[in-house]
Amino acid sequence: MGRTGKTAAAADGADYGLLPRDKTFSQLLPAYLLPYAAYVGLGSLPTGLLNPVLNGCVRTVAVAALLWSFRKSYRFGPKLTLRHMLIAIGGAVAALALWVLAYRFSLALPMWRSHLITEGPAPSLAYVMIRAVNSALLVPVFEELFCRAYLGEFLFGLPADRSGPGDFLARLGRRMDAMPTALSAPPLSVYAVVGAAALFSLGHDMSAWIPAMLYFLFTSWLYSRTRSFRVCVAVHGLVNVAIAGLVYGFPQLRFLWF
């Protein structure tokens, strides 16, 4: 996870940068942040205003519309090969096991025991289906684009100089005014991965911070081995749809959603 060759194209011509080169990070931010913010914001609306199924439908339409409107700002790298697809399936199985076990461990801690919901009425099939669609098709796209692509590249190239008081904010400002550049390897420095993983975790309930952090670190390792951003998106989608099935089929695993 070193920073070697972060701004130069690889010798074989490969470029692992995923952001457009004709806009600054500040100009690109809305394309990557707004779908994420819309999904989280709409999901935070009280159930008295929108019932869960209707809320899911609204989120599907709103987020899909945002992703479509900003589609020219997104790059996903080379298409998946058969090898990558097999790795994604195996990686999803491992990531799912890691998420379930780590989440259950987290809920064993005294401060989160109240979140361990295993009783009560099962979620309706309509709710499970709309949430599964969102979790499998939309969430992996906007979360991976924002956390792994945008934040990864932003933090990877953050200036390291420390010139005095307030230098961190100054470095952030300089980075926001910079344009993304070609990368000879995925943006996987320790600083970039840990920073992106922390922000990825903050997008989840506090009880899920431990599994979210471990999940992101594991998939970052997969990214470093495959150098395929699409593998990360595929693993994310497969894990999410598997969680939907587990929640619907096994009451003892409802804590994964509630």
Compute CA distances 201 → 18, 130, 217, whole Å: 22, 23, 11
Split at pLDDT 50, 70, 90, the class of 141 is very high
The DSSP-derived string for 20-31 is -SSS-HHHHHHH
d(Cα 34, Cα 196) in Å, to the nearest integer?
A: 17
Residue 172: is its pLDDT beyond 90? no
d(Cα 81, Cα 176) in Å, to the nearest integer?
A: 34
Most confident of 24-33, 35-44, 204-213: 24-33
**Burial track 176-215 (b if 16+ CB lie within 10 A, e otherwise):** eeeebeebbbbbbbeebbbbbbeebbebbeebbbbbbbbb
- CA nearest 5: which of 179, 152, 175, 185? 185
Split at pLDDT 50, 70, 90, the class of 109 is confident
pLDDT tens across 57-96, in order?
Answer: 999 999 999 999 999 999 999 999 999 999 999 999 999 9
Query: Which pTM was predicted?
Result: 0.90
Q: Which two tokens stand for residue 243?
A: 């969680």
**3-state DSSP assignment of residue 170:** helix
pLDDT tens across 125-137, in order?
Answer: 999 999 999 999 9
Split at pLDDT 50, 70, 90, the class of 114 is low
Q: Which two tokens stand for residue 167?
A: 């230098």
Question: Which amino acid, 249?
Answer: G
Cβ partners under 8 Å of residue 124, min gap 6: 53
